[in-house]
Chain A
Amino acid sequence: MMGLEYIFDVTLQHYLLLGMLLFSIGLLVIMVKRNLLIILMGVELMLNGVNVIAVSFGHYTNNVEGQILAFFILTVAAAEAGVGLVIAISIFKEFKSTHISNLTKLKG
């Protein structure tokens, strides 16, 4: 019964584990996928994992600094998505595809 109680008592560790899982899945998406748009989605997933961890620590230590950090991460993530999508559109205009092998042809 000790094990069951441990499982059903949701603590900080559970949230940290969730954040780490999200981060890992995002990293896996970046490494496995070959479409530029899906890679950008993987970056968003990683940033969300970090946000979960930041908010959880803020909740745990009972101050708002974690939320402030998550707020700035959210803003920078929106900016990053904008730039990434513009670059993706430029690459698509040039090569008619968003496969990342096209990125090797961008020299000069």
Chain B
Amino acid sequence: MVTGLAQNAFFFFPLAGFIIAMALGVLFSDTPIRALISLIMSMLGIGILFLAKGAVFLGGAQFAVYAGAVMVLFLMVLMLMDVNEVTDKFFKDKASAGKFVKVGSVGIILGLSMGALSLKTYSNAYQNNIGVTEAIKNLAMTLFKRHMFLFELVGVLLFVIAVAAVAVSRSGREEL
């Protein structure tokens, strides 16, 4: 398992600062779409943190489920609601939008270079060590043996939520 990275101060403090700054971006942004993009950045940072903590599966799930699915869902709802207001405010305000894009790009490049550096230092640990696969196997065994009932319960919950979402969004239509 890659244990050294999580204890590395030069890894932790920039990443933690990035996560906190982006979380504060949710608080201080003036439009919902900026808050959303800040939130996505924060989630990506937390995913990197999970990877460094040896929680490889959870880091991947963080990227795929949170930063991917849930945030795209938010974006879709945002666009569905007030698309004109959102896009006008975001694109007509050229100077501010440009600054925002710059800050976002710097964030992305910072994250990528940080990841590349950490991979360069720790790639041997990933390649030579079967600890990562062992950890995922261990996680799967615990999840599907000890917590099987909870897993099924969560599946039922997701199913009910899907049905409820369809039902709520279709209710109130008189013509149906």
Q: Which residues of A contact B13 (CB under 8 A)?
A: 10
Q: Which of B23, B65, B168 meets A90, CB within 8 Å? A: B168
B57 at the interface (CB under 8 A from A): yes
Which residues of B from 64 to 79 have beta carbons under 8 Å from A? 65-66, 69-70, 73-74, 77-78
CB interface residues, B 92-110, toward A, < 8 Å? none
- Cα distance A55–B172 when bound, in Å? 43
Q: Is the interface of B mostly helix, strand, loop or mixed?
A: helix
Task: Kindly name the residue among B55, B80, B142, B162 whose own CB sees the greatest number of chain A CB atoms within 10 A.
Answer: B55
CA of A35 to CA of B61, assembled, Å: 28
How extensive is the interface on chain B, given as a class? 35 or more
Output the nearest chain B residue to A51 by Cβ-Cβ distance: B46
CA distance in complex: A105, B123 (Å): 57
Main secondary structure of the interface of A (DSSP, over half): helix
Q: Out of A42, A65, A87, name the residue touching B142 (CB < 8 Å).
A: A65
Count CB-based A-B contacts (< 8 Å): 153
1/0 contact string of B37-61 vs chain A (CB within 8 Å): 0010011001001100111011001
Q: A45-B39, A89-B81 are known contacts. Are A75 and B8 too (CB-CB below 8 A)?
A: no
Contacts of A90 in B (CB 8 A): 168-169, 172
Q: How far is the CA of A85 from the CA of B142 in the complex (A)?
A: 32
8 Å CB contact of A70 from B6, B7, B58, B138: B58
Shortest B123–chain A CB gap in Å is: 20
Q: Which residue of B lies closest to A66 (CB)?
A: B55
Given A55-B53, A78-B69, A81-B70, A45-B19 contact (CB < 8 Å)? no
Interface string of B1-18 (1 = CB under 8 A from A): 000001111001100100
A77 and B61 alpha carbons, distance in the complex (Å): 12
Other-chain contact of B53, A22, A45, A56 (Cβ < 8 Å): A56
CB of B137 to closest CB in A, whole Å: 10
Q: Are A86 and B139 in contact (CB under 8 A)?
A: no
Q: How far is the CB of B30 from chain A (nearest CB, A)?
A: 10
Give the chain B neighbours of A8 by CB distance below 8 A.
9
A1 within 8 A of B: no
* 11 A–B contacts, CB within 8 A, in A order: A10-B12, A15-B6, A52-B49, A59-B54, A68-B142, A70-B55, A74-B65, A79-B161, A81-B70, A82-B161, A98-B81
